Amino acid sequence: MSNVIFAKNNALGAFNPAVAHKRKERDVMKLLMSDYKVIQSKENAYDFLVEFSGPASSLYEGGKWEVHVMLPEAYPYRSPSIGFNKKIYHPNVDEASGSVCLDVINQAWSPMFDLINIFDTFLPQLLLYPNPADPLNPEAAALMIKEPKKYEQKVREHVRKFAGAGATETKKEEKEEEDTEMEVENEDENDDAMSLSEVSELSETSTLLSESN
């Protein structure tokens, strides 16, 4: 799994490994029992993907992303690491890596928060209220400030292409194009094979006629 940012340690305090382990298990179980679709890594139960939908009434509505979450050993005293596994156009998200610039996670994390908070509150707030003053995607930040209409159009294009129904349609179209190309290649090969066969038959016929004469 990739596209993860590792958050700073802000609340280690009196770290107790036994307490941290129990809390990790509890929070992961709570997330698994929620309505979110979660895919755990076979190698690490604290490394998983969570399906996250764009909040209603936002430019990201209708999109679905896989968010990579990794819990550090010191969780919940250390904040989880998160990153988008699909492309998303947002001033505070690195478009290439999916890394998230999210103050509430990277700097203001508290052991009082849990994993559900990330998907119920933190990420929706990020998508609803981008902060172009603290960008990880300078192009998106500049476009949002200077040409908001073009910015909105580009966000929606990314949602459609990489995270919405359009993404499925795009993959389907690409598959159909590949199938068509293969069919054309097979037809060409068959035509070539038929041509060789016809030449061979003509040659045999010519030889027979010569012998009969």
**Which active-site residues does the annotation give?**
101
DSSP string, 129-189: S--TTS-SSHHHHHHHHH-HHHHHHHHHHHIIIIISHHHHHHHHHHHHHHHHHHHHHHHHH
Q: State the Cα–Cα distance between residues 154 and 172, nearest whole angstrom.
A: 22
Evaluate whether 9 touches 73 at the Cβ level (below 8 Å): no
Among residues 95, 47, 54, the alpha carbon closest in space to that of 68 is found at 47
Give, as one character, the DSSP assignment of residue 13. Answer: S
